[in-house]
Amino acid sequence: MTKATKLSRRSVLKGGAATAAFAAGTTLGAPMIWAQNIKDITLRQFGTGVSNLNDVADKVKEDLGFTLEMTALDTDSVTQRAATQPNSFDIADIEYFICKKVWAAGNLQAMDTSKIKNYDKIVGIFRNGLLTPGSTIAQGTAPHTVGFTSGPDGTDFVQEESGWMTLIPTIYNADTLGIRPDLIGRPITNWSELLNPEFKGKASILDISSIGIMDMAMVVESMGEYKYPDKGNMTREEIDMTLGIFTEAKKNGQFRSFWKSFDESVNLMASGEVVIQSMWSPAITAVKSRGIECVYQPLEEGYRSWGGGIGLSKSLTGLERDAAYEYINWYLDGWVGGYLMRQGYYSAVPETSKNFMSENEWGYWFEGKAATDVITSPTGDALAQAGDVRDGGSFDDRMGSVACWNSVMDENQYMVRKWNEFIAA
Amino acid sequence: MQARPNLTGWLMVSPLAIVLAVFLVLPIILIGVVSFWTATEFSIIPAFSWENYDFLFGSPVTYSVFLNTFKYAIITWALTFSIGFTIAYYLAFHIRTQTWQIALFLLCTIPFWTSNIIRMISWIPFLGRNGIANSALISWGVVDEPLDWLLFSDFAVILAFVHLYTLFMVVPIFNTMMRIDKSLIEAARDAGASGRQILWNVILPLTKSGIMIGTIFVVTLVMGDFITVRFMSGSQSANVGRLISNDIALLQYPSASATAIVLLATVLITIAILLRFVDIRKEL
């Protein structure tokens, strides 16, 4: 089936758009796309549930004319597919730390930044790592360190803006612990509270090793047990020590459950089984939309941050690649950004997203101002009332206090095995 | 054709043989081969290495996980056997008419009209801290505060296993009991045996094959399970199946294969031992 469609696409290409193929082959100018051919194009995108939204696919069809097929998977499966099934996708919507894992496998192609219209407006975090000229770069796999490669066929990472990006940034956020203030009844200000015996049998952590280990490191540092030289790249001893502390807590019955999928975290929190846990921003939103109090608690030690972007499959060429660039430019043009920002994420080009948000929404989500009216999610659920302020405040406050990025360590293999033991212990 | 009876025999056996070879034997051989390879995050290195087995047998966690797997299997077996045997005994010997026997037997299968996963997950809201079980216990005054061990515990795991797999015990035991000649029981009664003696000396030996078939079902199902353990223990307990699924999720295919091979060997040995007790083929 796939073979057959590819053949027909190829003949379409030969017949109608040899010039487009030429344009794609060079780096000159904007991609030229022939309206009559573009309708036949189907791009297959896969990624985590956060940004693989059917609304986006529908809007692509409407605005750009071609078909975008979305597949949403969990973080581990995404990594798996990007690494092992390069022919199963055209566009990979992956996280930067996954990119570090899979880039060397050569399944993705570098992207020419001169074809990205809004490249200059992409926030500093993804270009030189600096949110503002004076900020410090957090530990872990900061996106800019794996965001550029040396050339069109590069399999390495370079530390300067080389003009060839591995991923085009699309979405990112600062993560922290979620709490049930109604069941806790006192202020929570530190990561160490996750292991506070007060919450014995009422805490949870996520069972995704590369993210969970960072949450653990934040907790260990906050407890004053150890100060990591680099949380994002632990030594074997540090991994043993970190997991040792958590294994002990697990044996003492600190955790009610671990969670792996978004829904599990929502259910644990909404049912009151758990009152404090690692959580993702839209999960908080989901709990709130059930009318249950839930706070994405900013903590003194800062946030654990993550970023995702779009990568192109190595096998993508010609008209389809042009369509993919068109899609990327559209992605950064604001509609998707606005959609994502109204869910609590951040867009790589916030200023274009502003055009697709009301002043109230922009003020609440981005500037950290009190809402002047009801804030609703893109699907229409009320998330905040007039007068409410976003947990953690403005974009600069939140992204400015990132302590570490999700990461892949040199000792990843070892960490994964130890993690497995932790779960089994 | 008559001249070559051998050929006919081969032809008759070949469809099944081919299916089994391609879909069972070959994959197992492949798993065996891969278990000797090594892997990095994004590639598998096809070179012979003992590394996976080294790590597996070198880690104390492996032993505790295998122990845990056996623990689940044995406790689940004991409970499903006593419940299953009792139900089958009641159906076979206390219900007089066949119509009622069949009707009640079908009643036992009603829960199996929905999927395994749904039956398992429905326990979660029931057993939760604010679930029906806890609210009922509190309102009856049995306990003062919710019992935490009802959910996300070994108790919950075994409860789900027993719920899911008891029918696999009932069916074969009921089947063998139905085929016991009633005159044997009358003869035992005439010879002066008490009810308990009849159960122990007549019925139990005659239902051995049914018990064994049920046992094999339950033991293999429990030992191969991972999803029940993951959901009902809130990911906090592990059996071998979970070890394998974690490895696969983290792209450690060779290590997962090694664990799978060890599990396969363990289950086969367990079944071989069980079959030493009863010759199923003779009894069927």
Nearest by CB to B236, from A80, A101, A250: name it. A250
Q: Which two tokens stand for residue A158?
A: 């370079």
What is the spatial distance between Cα A300 and Cα A277, in angstroms, rounded to a whole number? 16
Tell whether B246 is within 8 A of chain A (Cβ): yes
Of residues B39 and B283, which shows the higher confidence score? B39
Average pLDDT over residues A150-162: 89
Task: Kindly report the CATH number that applies to the domain delimited by A177-301+394-424.
Answer: 3.40.190.10
What is the spatial distance between Cα B179 and Cα B207, in angstroms, rounded to a whole number? 9
Q: Is the CB of B148 less than 8 angstroms away from the CB of A413?
A: no
The bridge status of strand A402-405 relative to strand A139-140 is parallel
Residue B71 has pLDDT above 60, yes or no: yes
Q: How confident is the model at residue A243 (pLDDT cuts 50, 70, 90)?
A: very high
Q: What are phi and psi of A141, to 5 degrees?
A: -85, 80
Tell whether A413 is within 8 A of chain B (Cβ): yes
How do residues A306-338 score in pLDDT, each as one tens digit?
Answer: 999 999 999 898 888 999 999 999 999 999 999
Nearest by CB to A76, from B40, B59, B250: name it. B250
Q: Which two tokens stand for residue A77?
A: 């499966």
How do residues B199-224 score in pLDDT, each as one tens digit?
Answer: 999 999 999 999 999 999 999 999 99
Structure confidence at residue B190 (pLDDT): 93
Q: From residue A230, how far is each of A24, A124, A407, A410, B243 by CA, in Å?
A: 42, 22, 11, 12, 29
**ipTM for the predicted complex:** 0.77
Q: Is the CB of A413 less than 8 angstroms away from the CB of B41?
A: yes
How do residues A83-113 score in pLDDT, each as one tens digit?
Answer: 888 888 999 999 998 888 888 888 899 999 9
Residue A32 has pLDDT above 70, yes or no: no
Q: How confident is the model at residue A12 (pLDDT cuts 50, 70, 90)?
A: very low
Sequence spans of domains, chain A: 2-174+306-355, 177-301+394-424
Nearest by CB to A258, from B40, B65, B235: name it. B235
How do residues A345-379 score in pLDDT, each as one tens digit?
Answer: 999 999 999 999 999 999 999 999 999 999 888 87
Other CB atoms within a 10 A radius of the CB of residue A339 amount to 21
Residues of B in contact with A425 (CB under 8 A): 61, 64, 238
Q: How confident is the model at residue A3 (pLDDT cuts 50, 70, 90)?
A: very low
Nearest by CB to A257, from B64, B236, B255: name it. B236
Q: Is the CB of A83 less than 8 angstroms away from the CB of B129?
A: no
Q: Domains in chain B, start-ordered, CATH in brackets?
A: 61-283 (1.10.3720.10)
Average pLDDT over residues A256-270: 89
Residue A289 has pLDDT above 70, yes or no: yes
* Number of Cα atoms under 13 Å in the Cβ half of residue B167: 14
Task: Kindly report the CATH number that applies to the domain delimited by A2-174+306-355.
Answer: 3.40.190.10
Q: Is the CB of A102 less than 8 angstroms away from the CB of B42?
A: yes
Q: How confident is the model at residue A395 (pLDDT cuts 50, 70, 90)?
A: very high
Q: What percent of chain A has pLDDT over 90?
A: 55
Average pLDDT over residues B135-147: 89
Residue A403 has pLDDT above 60, yes or no: yes
Nearest Cα residue to A391 out of A305, A301, A298: A298
Nearest by CB to A257, from B130, B235, B255: name it. B235
Tell whether B240 is within 8 A of chain A (Cβ): no
Q: Between A and B, how many CB-CB pairs are < 8 A?
A: 82
Of residues B221 and B2, which shows the higher confidence score? B221
Residues 238-257 of A with CB under 8 A from B: 250, 255-257
Q: How confident is the model at residue A416 (pLDDT cuts 50, 70, 90)?
A: confident
Residue A177 has pLDDT above 50, yes or no: yes
Average pLDDT over residues B53-66: 89
Structure confidence at residue B53 (pLDDT): 92
Whole-model pTM: value is: 0.79
Residues of A in contact with B63 (CB under 8 A): none
Q: Is the CB of A201 less than 8 angstroms away from the CB of B64?
A: no
Residue A398 burial class via C-beta count within 10 angstroms: exposed 0-12, middle 13-18, buried 19 and up: buried
The Cα of A79 is separated from the nearest Cα of chain B by a number of Å equal to: 8
Q: What percent of chain A has pLDDT over 70?
A: 91
Tell whether A260 is within 8 A of chain B (Cβ): yes
Q: A2-174+306-355 with A177-301+394-424: one CATH topology?
A: yes
The alpha carbon of B105 is separated from its chain's Cα centroid by a whole number of angstroms, namely 20
Q: How confident is the model at residue B32 (pLDDT cuts 50, 70, 90)?
A: very high
Q: Is the CB of B152 less than 8 angstroms away from the CB of A420?
A: no
Q: How confident is the model at residue A35 (pLDDT cuts 50, 70, 90)?
A: low
Q: Is the CB of A105 less than 8 angstroms away from the CB of B42?
A: yes
Residue with tokens 């390495």: A156
Residue A132 has pLDDT above 60, yes or no: yes
Beta bridge partners of A42: A67
Residue B129 has pLDDT above 90, yes or no: no
Nearest by CB to A424, from B41, B42, B238: name it. B238
Tell whether B202 is within 8 A of chain A (Cβ): no
Residues of B in contact with A77 (CB under 8 A): 249
* Closest chain B residue by Cα to residue A206: B235
What type of residue is A303?
A: Y
